[in-house]
Amino acid sequence: MIVKEYRIPLPLTVDEFERGLLYAVSACSRNETGGGEGVEFLVQEDFTSNTLRPGQTVSGTYTKKIYRLRSKAPWVLQKLLPPEAFVIYEESWNAYPYCKTVLTNPGYMKDNFHQIIETIHLDDNGSSENPLDGPEKREIVFIDIADNDIFGTKNYEKEKDARLFEAETVERGPLDEDWIDEHDPVMCCYKLVSCHFKWTGLQRMVEKTVHKQYPRVFGLMHRDAYVLLDNWFNMSMESIREYERATGDILRKQLAEPEKRGTKCDDDVNNN
């Protein structure tokens, strides 16, 4: 099992990003869903748990979704695996600033596949030593939302270029080369990701291929949260929740439409 820790600095405060994260997840789901692929909401409800984080009682929102992702997967995986291998179930416990997500594939891999993503959001620039108590030998990967090489040429959009974006509602941007060390405010999203794929002969290759996509996936979502700042910055949490509820209905309609939407896997992106 390969474990990596991804660190994504953002020119926001942790309090601001709570709304930005929720908005971006819904907006991204709308943009990525259509033609029978994308996101389907199954459950969204409040939860309280004393086991999610040992020694703590946390509460927040539990969601369960289905992701249908065949056309967005690397070419090598599309050739190796059947269609049902790309139907992923996601369970997520959002107790912001801590979140936990579990991805499974019950229709094909069953108990032989799972991914666990633990996330903590902190008011620093990625300098915390080990905020999620990951293994000492984990690889740490920094993701700069202003580095367009991360996303691949197929997914470049000038209006979403963080090097060019300048907010109107609040003084943020554009981001220069040294923004991570110099910007005020700054925060960091830490993600500890473990990928388990049990298949003799393919395990290491598939786990490495999955991790190779995460800089692009995490980078796109967090970059979008930032460049959509003018959309959500003045929204209340109640308005954000209403946007989430409306998204569920929109996704169901888009799944039934013929057009596929969203980003494509750029197999030429060289991420380790």
Q: What is the pLDDT of residues 204-252, one digit of tens each?
A: 777 887 888 899 989 999 999 999 999 999 999 999 999 988 998 898 8
In the numeric block, which tokens belong to residue 49? Answer: 């748990």
How much is the average pLDDT of 142-153?
Answer: 92
Q: Give CA–CA dist 33/251, Å, rounded.
A: 6
Domain ranges of the chain: 2-253
* Helix axes 203-227 and 14-32, enclosed angle (nearest 10): 110
What per-residue confidence (pLDDT) applies to 97?
A: 97
The answer regarding whether domain 2-253 maps to CATH 3.30.530.20 reads yes
Q: Which residues of 131-152 are buried (b: 16+ CB within 10 A; e: fewer)?
A: beebeeebeebebbbbbbebbb
Nearest to 114, CA basis, from 103, 123, 106: 103
Percent of the chain beyond pLDDT 90? 63
The answer to whether 41 and 253 have CB atoms below 8 angstroms apart is no
